[in-house]
Amino acid sequence: MNLYAYCLGDEVTAGAVENELGVAGAHPRLVERAGIAAVVSEYDDEKIAVTRENVLAHERVVRRVLALTTPLPFRFGTIVSEARLVSYLDAQEAKLKEQLARVRGAVEMSVKIIWRPEARGNEAAGGRDIGTAGGSGTRFLLEKRRELLGEGALKERAEEVSAWLGRAVEGLVRESSVSLRPSENLILAASHLVERELLADYRRALGCAKTERPELHFLTSGAWPPYSFISVAP
Amino acid sequence: MADEDLEQLLDEESELSLLETLDHVLNRGLVIAGEITIAVADIDLIFLGLNVLVSSVETAHEVLKERQQIQSPKSEV
């Protein structure tokens, strides 16, 4: 029998999770080692399907812990023997405790900003109307120029939006992790590590900021466990 | 608003919430080397990456816009 691993922490108690239903309907329990408790449940397989049910079961257990303390969440699909898990906790004890201290008392908030389709087209066009100017060679070169200028303009725009967002939440965020233009339509994807006591202020600041930029679309979510603020090499 | 329209709005928001969850739990978090074993389900859900999430972001904007118009038809969005 394997274990499905949800998260770990140094302030987790069995009572917090034992009544929850995890993956495959199993009740979570703890595997404790050196002051760190891993939240796990029995799992009778070597792989797990990415289904709505399984993903939500994983998240449900981790959120149960998050309600009481900030854990380090495992990536979905972590299936391990108890012996392997104990070995991992032993080997990584110092790093795990360091990471737990890093995120203690905080949660992760997520902000994704996308272009309005017409705004992205204008940026990419670089202000030039190619139309039917010149022959096919000219049009090809103009198109290439538009691509290059457009890429540059998009990059500058993403950097400007990132700097603006940083100013909007300055003083309310312990750490930030920002990815610029992670995809064609996304200007940026930001993760903010926010003190629990500052969450209301953070949400207010973000709400005000959104009204300043009606040309942008925002997707904000959280509070999440600190998935993006873990740097423990496997 | 018709019940089926409201149901669709709620479904879209629920889908967006699920995609955000996927974006977090599949891409990030602690990893015990060699111990991530997932299989893509052919029944319920396939994660297609951020493109899917972005599509849902655009959908979410429309969902929220419609909801705001329902709640306060004269207000600007």
Q: What is the pLDDT of residues A3-58, one digit of tens each?
A: 999 999 999 999 989 899 999 999 999 999 989 999 999 999 888 888 888 999 99
ipTM over 0.85: no
- Give the per-residue pLDDT at B38: 64
- Over residues A103-107, mean pLDDT: 97
Q: Which of the residues in chain B have pLDDT under 70?
A: 1-15, 34-77
Domain boundaries, chain A: 2-103, 106-224
More confident residue, A183 or A155: A155
Tell me if residue A46 falls in helix, strand or coil.
coil
Contacts of B37 in chain A (CB under 8 A): 46-48, 77, 79
Q: Count interface pairs A-B at CB distance under 8 A.
A: 131
**Chain B CA closest to residue A3:** B35
Q: What is the pLDDT of residue B75?
A: 36
What pLDDT does B54 receive? Answer: 47
Instruction: Look up residue A154 and give its two tokens.
Output: 């998009």
Residue A113's H or E segment, with its range, is strand A106-115
CA–CA min distance B11, chain A (Å)? 13
The model carries a pTM of: 0.77
How confident is the model over A115-133, as pLDDT tens digits? 765 555 555 454 444 455 5
Which residue's structure tokens are 């655009």? B58
- Neighbouring CB atoms inside 10 A of B14's CB total 11
Q: What is the CATH number of domain A106-224?
A: 3.30.70
Distance CA A176, CA A202 (A): 13
What is the mean predicted confidence (pLDDT) over A124-145?
61
